[in-house]
Amino acid sequence: MLDASIFLCEVDAEFTSTLCPACNRIEAENREYKEFHCTSCGHQGEADHIAAINIANRAVDEEIREICNKLPLEERKQAIYSVYHRRHLEYTNEL
């Protein structure tokens, strides 16, 4: 018998459509209608697919989940942005 377990959790969708899953750069210009093209690293793909990847990654990202579990909604956006900004700087060796 096949066990078809499903992992389900609530995910804060903030920045999922403008976040590059390759370099962690958040930029509104990364997404143009149905296309995603990172202005920093050049990663590209269909915008909804990129957003789905970001949502899946966020579901297992302990640092982001901790922010979402601890902070009130009005404080999450800046905290989430700060995490991804730090990760982008690490990716580009600018930190």
Q: What is the pLDDT of residues 19-39, one digit of tens each?
A: 999 999 999 999 999 999 999
Q: Is the pLDDT of residue 10 over 80?
A: no
The pLDDT of residue 1 is 63
Has residue 49 been placed in a domain? yes
What percent of the chain lies above the pLDDT cut of 70?
89
DSSP 12-79: --TTTTTB-TTT--B-GGGEETTEEE-TTT--EEEHHHHHHHHHHHHHT-HHHHHHHHHS-HHHHHHH
Residue 71 lies in a domain: yes
Q: Could you tell me if residue 87 is inside a domain?
A: yes
Residue 39: domain span: 28-91
Q: Is residue 63 part of a domain?
A: yes
Give how many domains the chain has, as a whole number.
Answer: 1
Report yes or no on 65 lying in a domain. yes
